[in-house]
Chains A and B, each alone.
Chain A
């Protein structure tokens, strides 16, 4: 009995907070827009009995999804989001790996402090941190003032409201999610493996490529997923730092919901986004499973 309860808790959690909301969103995405509250039809009329349920399901259709396919705004937004998410994941990896490596190589007494410093930004509101980037990157911002001051540039750079600003924002925000899994993989790495590689004729650099990188792949993959997934649906950073030409699906979603009040289309956008995210996650899981099976 106790066992059953314990096992049930995570399932109840997943069903109540993941599956049920998803089914509601899916249902709305199959509905039609209506000037009502909530702003879509049909509504399930249980009072009408079996006929009510039948007419409810009859009214559901894939109209919104066909609409998404015909209007090129949406697939362009998806593609652009994918591109921004991929590029910023890659940039985060480039910045995060050396930091994680440095932390893992640091003297053991320093490591807790360094970990603390990585986590420290979370203590400030995410919004405030993104806002402060506006102060740094804008034409009158700290960065331009500094560069003008030392004479590197004669005219302020336009970084704010471009994709560059979005990349900076995403890399900055999600860096800890990249650093922590890589750090934990590197920290476990036995130093004697590197010594063995050197002993067998590797230079420091080739030992890094042949031993350190392969043995931290798990951390790299986990870090990339932790950055890629939220970056794909990111809304706050592109809308605050990005420009009018920054097209991201998160922004589209927001506009459908709050500007157009078209909940069914917005839900359809969300369902597609979820599917896009689920595919790589499933692939990743399968890959892990295969690796485990190969090992045993």
Chain B
């Protein structure tokens, strides 16, 4: 995993390249950024992720120098840069619209920034040629921006912003204008170029797949605050709030009342785990279906009332990333006898409580939400034995996506959950169909218990 070899944020001695110190930005009455502190390290590929209006673009514009913080400071390499105008910052930006100069050729677009420095002609030419090669644009050097395709324009914009070898490159929704296939290719290209040049990248996006694919760390933002800043796998596996769980990927939210299983014997809450082969790779997530109208209804009815409360609530304790040891523990947890500790969740009348051994016993007696990723469920027609949790339900809908199938299962009490199963067997051999009664099972550590 990349995080184990490259994780400057875990090292307290590392000097951050960028530091936001209690930055607040207001536009009139509107607070775009609210008392935000953040450190970004050299060579990081850092993603700012959030819905539109969450303040991610404002943060980027403050880094570029187009906005100044109302309160607080931004530091670049230890220097306060609040009063440094954009043309004096060692920061370049790739604009969402690419902002290529339509009256200049590709070559002149890339050379534009270099010509502003007092460089000699030969070194400008050499640098432009180098950038053209890096972005595979040599053939198009003499064309004008409107004579090339969208993907090529995107590469010109990247080449132009990298030409001056900035300490920090800002990418504002860089792939938004590309179609899905090209976007996926370009994501890997971006990662490749970032690795080659060693430049620190900060990318703003509302596309969670994009953020997860490219970034070394992801900051999930909401209403001018950072909700969670962590590596993609922690964001996915151990979201610290219902908001983050719902924003990244698909999630089933089961509400209930928590009760401690044994009196606080578990010191550390265990990380949510799963069999290692199920670790969601980026590619797998890209296959995640978009929520259909039913999923959106689920979100609206279940998630939005909670979201309102979420903001005022104190920041819940963040769960650590699963380490190999924890994964091993989790494997052990799959054995019939369930480890002690954690929480049990009373979620519906007349149904057995759900067990989450990784739940924080301090939540005893509180209303909580169990967040479960669709791929964490096992689905079977017969009641499974030796599992921590098993609930009965009825298949309402099946979404067949080729490599995986999504089952929409109605649980007792009317709660609709999604379960994703890899189609290891050919479709003709599949035995579960509409209206079938099925059992959904999951391990005692498959979910994440999130406080209300």
**Interface set of A (CB-CB < 8 Å, partner B):** 190, 192-193, 195-203, 206, 210-211, 214-215, 295-296
Q: What CA separation (Å) do A296 and B143 show in the bound complex?
A: 10
Chain A residues within an 8 Å CB radius of B418: none
What A residues does B95 contact at CB under 8 A? 192, 195-196
Residues of the B chain whose Cβ atoms lie less than 8 Å from the Cβ of A215: 102-103
Contact stretch, chosen from B109-117, B211-219, B374-382: B109-117
B144 A295 Cβ-Cβ under 8 A: yes
Across the A-B interface, give the 7 residue pairs with the lowest CB-CB distance, nearest first: A200-B113, A201-B116, A196-B99, A192-B99, A198-B86, A214-B103, A201-B87
Most buried by B among A198, A203, A214: A198
Q: How far is the CA of A88 from the CA of B316 in the complex (A)?
A: 72
Chain B, residue nearest A217 (CB): B103
Main secondary structure of the interface of A (DSSP, over half): helix
CB within 8 Å for A201 and B146 given contacts A193-B99, A211-B101, A214-B103: no
- Cβ–Cβ contact A295 & B147, under 8 A: yes
Within the complex, the shortest CB–CB distance from B42 to chain A, in Å, comes to 20
B113 touches A201 (CB 8 A): yes
Q: Measured between alpha carbons, how far is A198 from B96 in the docked complex, in Å? A: 16
Q: Is the CB of B87 within 8 A of A198?
A: yes
Cα–Cα, bound, A214→B87 (Å): 20
Contact indicator per residue, chain B 79-94, by CB within 8 Å of chain A (1) or not (0): 0000001110001110
Contact residues in A for B99 (Cβ distance below 8 Å): 190, 192-193, 195-196
**Chain B min CB distance to A180 (Å):** 22
Chain B residue nearest to A296 (CB atoms) is B147
A192 to B64 Cα, complex, angstroms = 12
Q: Is the CB of B86 within 8 A of A199?
A: yes
| A162 to B160 alpha-carbon distance, docked (Å) | 54
Bits for B95-132, please: 1 = Cβ < 8 Å to A, else 0. 11101011100000000110011000000000000000
Which B residues are CB-close (under 8 A) to A211?
A: 101
Asked if B87 contacts A202 (CB within 8 A), the reply is yes
B147→A200 contact, CB < 8 A: no
- B153 on the interface (CB 8 Å rule)? no
Tell me if B346 counts as interface (CB < 8 A to partner A). Answer: no
| Complex CA–CA separation, A198 to B161 (angstroms) | 12
B64 contact set on A, CB distance < 8 A:
195, 199
Residues from chain A with Cβ under 8 Å of B93 in the complex? 195-196, 199
B66 on interface, CB distance cutoff 8 Å: yes
Asked whether A197 and B112 contact (CB < 8 A) given A202-B87, A214-B103, the answer is yes
Decide: B92 and A199 in contact? CB cutoff 8 A.
Answer: yes
Q: Does B225 contact A (CB under 8 A)?
A: no
Q: Give Cα A20 to B40, complex, Å.
A: 75
Interface assignment of B255: CB less than 8 Å from any CB of chain A? no
By a CB distance below 8 angstroms, the chain B residues around A197 are 101, 112
Residues from chain B with Cβ under 8 Å of A201 in the complex = 87, 113, 116-117, 164
Interface size on B, residues (CB 8 A): 26
Chain B residues within an 8 Å CB radius of A203:
87
Q: Is the CB of B164 within 8 A of A200?
A: yes
Q: What are the residues of chain A within 8 A of B66 when measuring CB–CB?
A: 195, 198
CA distance A210 to B147 in the complex (A): 21
Q: Are B97 and A192 in contact (CB under 8 A)?
A: yes
**Could you say which of A192, A196, A296 has the most chain B C-beta atoms within 10 Å of its C-beta?**
A196
Using known A-B contacts A190-B97, A192-B97, A195-B95, determine if residue A200 contacts B144 with beta carbons closer than 8 Å: no
A163 to B144, CA, bound (A): 45
14 contacts across the A-B interface (CB closer than 8 A): A192-B95, A196-B101, A198-B86, A199-B91, A199-B93, A199-B161, A200-B87, A200-B116, A200-B161, A201-B113, A210-B112, A215-B102, A295-B146, A295-B147
| One of A193, A202, A214, A295 near B116 (C-beta < 8 A) | A202
A194 to chain B: closest residue by CB: B99
**Complex Cα spacing A215 to B99, Å:** 13
Tell me which residues across on chain A come within 8 A of B92, comparing CB atoms.
Answer: 199-200
Separation in Å of the A213 CB from the closest CB of chain B?
A: 10
| A200 engages B97 (CB within 8 Å) | no
- Name which residue of chain A comes closest to B96, CB basis: A192
Please provide the chain B residues from 121 to 168 with a CB less than 8 Å away from any CB of chain A in the complex.
Answer: 144, 146-147, 160-161, 164
Given contacts A295-B144, A295-B147, contact A206 B101 (CB under 8 A): no
Nearest Cβ in chain A — how far from B155, in angstroms?
16
A196 to B147, CA, bound (A): 20
Other A-B pairs beyond A193-B99, A195-B95, A215-B103, 4, CB < 8 Å: A192-B96, A195-B93, A199-B86, A199-B91
Query: A173 → chain B, closest Cβ, in Å?
Result: 32
- Distance in Å: Cβ of B44 to nearest Cβ of chain A: 20
Q: Is the CB of A193 within 8 A of B146?
A: no
Chain B contacts for A199, CB-based, 8 A: 64-65, 86-87, 91-93, 161
Nearest-neighbor residue (CB-CB) of A215 within chain B: B103
A197 to chain B, nearest CB (A): 7
Q: In whole Å, how far is B69's beta carbon from the nearest beta carbon of chain A?
A: 18
What are the residues of chain A within 8 A of B86 when measuring CB–CB? 195, 198-199
Q: How far is the CB of A265 from chain B (nearest CB, A)?
A: 47
Residue of B nearest to A192 (CB): B99
Q: How far is the CA of A276 from the CA of B95 in the complex (A)?
A: 47
* A149 CB, nearest partner CB in chain B, Å: 45
Measured CA separation A200–B109 after assembly (Å): 10
Q: Are A200's CB and B85's CB within 8 A?
A: no
The smallest beta-carbon distance between A50 and chain B, in angstroms, is 59
Nearest Cβ in chain A — how far from B135, in angstroms? 16
List of B residues within 8 angstroms of A195 by Cβ = 64, 66, 86, 93, 95, 99
Which residues of B lie under 8 Å from residue A192 when comparing CB positions? 95-97, 99
B97 to A198, Cβ gap below 8 A?
Answer: no
Minimal beta-carbon separation of B93 from chain A (angstroms): 5
